[in-house]
Each structure stands twice: as C-alpha cells, then as structure tokens.
Structure 1
Amino acid sequence: MKAIVDAIYAGAVRPMPDDGRPTGIFKTPLAGEAEIGREGLVGDAQADRRVHGGPEKALHHFPAEHYARFAAAFTEQAAAFVPGAIGENLTTRGWTEAEVCLGDVYTFGSARLQLSQPRSPCWKIDARFGVDGLTRYVAEHGIAGWYYRVLAPGRCRAGDALELIEREPDPVTLAEYWRLRASPRADRARLQRVADSPGLAPEQRARWQQRLDWLRAQR
C-alpha cells in the first residue's frame, strides 16, 4: 500500500479574514526538502495548541479527492476548494478514510509516521471558506483527513511515497471509526475494539472508553 505525496504544506499563524482571530489554516506548498520533527514540519505553526499540533497531531493528511465533494456540495465556493486549502500538511490521491487504519505505520522519506486519529473539524473551516455548514458537512461525512504522530524524524519532499510498513492485526479503518462515532446504537464490542486500538491517541481512547462506561452504566 503506497501513495505519492503530491505536495507538502506549511504556514505561519495569521489573522483569520473578517474576525481577526489567529489561525494556522493557511498553508503554502514547500519547495525542495522538508524536515519532519517530533511535532511535525519544521517551519509549520498552529494557533491553538490545545486542539491542533503537538506529538499526537504532528502532521495532517488530507485526501485531495474530498475537494471535489466540497465543490459539488458548496457550488458558490467551488473555486476555493483546491489542495492545501483546508490546512493540511500532506496531500495524496488514492487513499481516503476507507483505506487507512488507526495505528498504521508508514515511511515517508527518511521519516516514520503512525496514524494516530482522524482530524476533528472545527469552526475555522467555515471561516476559512466563508460559508456556513462546511464544518458540519465534513463531520457528518467523516472526511476530515487524519493525523500522524512521528515515530522517527526525518526529511522528505513532494513526490516521495508514503508506504505502509505495519498494520495492527485487527485494524479499524477511519471510515468505521466515523460510522461508530455517529451511531447511537453501535455494538459495544465494536466500540471496545476502537478504544483498545494501540495506535489511537490517548485522549481519543479515553473518550471512547467514557462512552463505553456510560453505556454499561445504563444497563
């Protein structure tokens, strides 16, 4: 399982148009070699470190195919839906949430990355494109992309391949993750499988376990 990274994006914190709140969603493509450290691309920045960035959200990967879905659903903003626009660090074609799994380990250039969790869409997506409802659309369809933790820092460039080198024995795809998250009647065994996934970020694992504990308490 291999995908070519079309582009690598990074950016500084800047004011959001209209309201001036700080954001790191505006990224530009990097030319030449880039360096990946333990907390992501050297030279990239996040405005709110409570919800973006850090070791468990070091790199954001977004499938380029999703932009066509945005354009079809929000036609007035269609021209704005281009790779890099949602604030991702890596863009590929051929992989979506249906193909990747929690805990997947990949090589990228000389770095080694592990898929830690899906991105949770926030208000900045609506603000970035000047439209109401895009954030909700992303969440409802489970097409927010995903985050990597960095197992081994390294160097990379656009055109390098992301190559799967390790997958858990009973993997959970991100598509299944989103289906279970949205289902009010999900089977507890399937929920436990997500919570027990070794690759899942600790904060997310705790949330799934809290949901399971609540369900057990109702019984």
Structure 2
Amino acid sequence: MSLPAVFLDTLLTGRAVPFTRPGSRSAIAKQPRQGTLAVTTLGLETDEQGDLRVHGGVEKAIHHYPREHYADWAVELGEHPLLGQPGAFGENFSTTGWTEADLCLGDRIRAGTALLEVSQGRMPCWKLNDRFDVAQMALRVQESGRTGWYYRVLEEGSIAAGTMLQLVERPYAEWSLQRLCTVLFDKRVDADILRECLELPLPPNWCRTLSRRLENGAVEDWSPRLEGSPKA
C-alpha cells in the first residue's frame, strides 16, 4: 500500500437554491470555507444538496475533485470563469496529488479526526451542462474519466482546509476508481467483469445498475441523467 498523503487545499460547502430548470434546486455552487467544520455521516456541516434522490446521503457524503483536472479542462474548454478557482464541479474537497487512477474502491482515508471510505466514482448529471453552459458537459466529464469520487463517513469528526489526507487501509488494491468507472461507463456488456464487480462492496445504486445489465444483457439509457428534462 503506497499512496503519498496530500493536503486539503480547499474545503467547500454550499446551500441548495433554485437552479436552471423548472422545479430544480442545486447546491453545486459551493464556496471555500475557513475554520473547522464538523464531518457527519451525511457530510460536512453547512453543506446541502438540491436533490437527495441522487445526491448526498450516506453513500455520497463528501465529493472530492482533483485540482489538477482543471488544467485539462482549460485546454479543452478554453478560458472559462468557473475554472479560475476550486468548486466548479460542486466538490467539497479540492487537492492536488490524487486522481481516480490513484484511489481505489474501499480506500480508508484519515481526514482530520474523521475516517472516510471511498464509496464510488461520480456519475455526472445534466447540472454540469447548465452550470458550465457547455452542451454535453456531463458526457464529456464521463468520457474523460475526470469525474472525482465520493466518500462515506465511517467515523465522524472535524476537518479544516490545510488538513492532511492520508491513506490508512486499502482492501481492494486491484480496483482503482479509474478501472471501476471504465466498467460503469462501458457500452459493452462483459458478463464476467460484471460478476466480478458485483462481488465488491459497491454502493446500492451501482449494484442495481450492474445487476440490471447482467440480467438484461444491455446497458441502460444514460440520456435522462446526462441531459435531464428539457429547459422551459
């Protein structure tokens, strides 16, 4: 088990407010926070989510997005006002040094006095399209593999910007988030790989998705998640 520790460069939270489409709400516009925040099983103190059916909760308590991905997005998108500071992707943690290739499912991370566990990669949704005002931004995030990831909270505690994040346990070293997302976002159905994945401690939403693929022999329609309902 070898993964250098990183420092939490920016800690961010946001309040849920009306968003771009009728009836929608979002807390994607998160802002940097100073001082120490409590970490609970449902996430960071003062942080909210706009749609608890698909965001937040125990399995998606904290979202982590690598700061180094911003340079890649700047190359692809050109100058964009959201890329000037952390928080463009609605993340709670912004660091440099860890990406989806470095973290594995089930990694346990000591973060301040809290203990976190990598629960899943992000399945991007249409709110990224509207936030960036870029057509198919969610699909581009998915296809790039630059999705970020979520933590569940095993031990509540507290954290502040500048805190060290350190790997303390790695039970599934062969299953990086990059590898898992390759399976999740593959339009092909490989029954053997799906069965292997389903033996892992996947979150319930991933279990349902991969189980349906195995049963149906086909990949689900992604358009509702990636495109959402039409704007008024």
Distance in structure 1 (CA, Å) of the matches to 2:91 and 2:143:
19
Q: Does 1:37 align with 2:40?
A: yes
Distance in structure 2 (CA, Å) of the matches to 1:17 and 1:169:
39
Aligned to 2:25: 22
Superimposed CA distance per residue, residues 65-111 of structure 1 (whole angstroms, 9 cap, x where no aligned partner) = 1111111111152x321311211000111111101111111110000
2:104·2:173 contact (CA, 8 Å) conserved in 1?
no
Q: Which amino acid in the other structure matches residue 196 of structure 1?
A: E
Q: TM-score, normalised by structure 1?
A: 0.90
Equivalent residues in 2 for 1:66-215, closer than 5 Å? 66-77=69-80, 79-81=81-83, 82-169=85-172, 171-185=174-188, 187-198=190-201, 200-215=202-217
2:119·2:151 contact (CA, 8 Å) conserved in 1?
yes
Structure 1 gaps, min length 5? none
The alignment partner of 1:164 has SS state of: strand
Q: TM-score, normalised by structure 2?
A: 0.85
Task: Give the C-alpha shift of residue 210 in structure 1.
Answer: 2.3
2:142·2:185 contact (CA, 8 Å) conserved in 1?
no
Q: Which amino acid in the other structure matches residue 94 of structure 2?
A: T
Number of residues paired by the alignment? 214
Q: Which amino acid in the other structure matches residue 64 of structure 1?
A: R
Task: Give the C-alpha shift of residue 171 in structure 1.
Answer: 3.3
Task: Give the C-alpha shift of residue 190 in structure 1.
Answer: 2.6
Q: Which amino acid in the other structure matches residue 205 of structure 1?
A: C
Task: Give the C-alpha shift of residue 126 in structure 1.
Answer: 1.3
Q: Which amino acid in the other structure matches residue 61 of structure 2?
A: A
Distance in structure 2 (CA, Å) of the matches to 1:29 and 1:20:
27
The alignment partner of 2:183 has SS state of: helix
Task: Give the C-alpha shift of residue 58 in structure 1.
Answer: 0.3
2:7·2:95 contact (CA, 8 Å) conserved in 1?
yes
Q: Which amino acid in the other structure matches residue 183 of structure 1?
A: D
Distance in structure 2 (CA, Å) of the matches to 1:185 and 1:22:
33
Distance 1:215 1:59, change over 3 A: same
Q: Which amino acid in the other structure matches residue 164 of structure 1?
A: L
Distance in structure 2 (CA, Å) of the matches to 1:12 and 1:184:
35
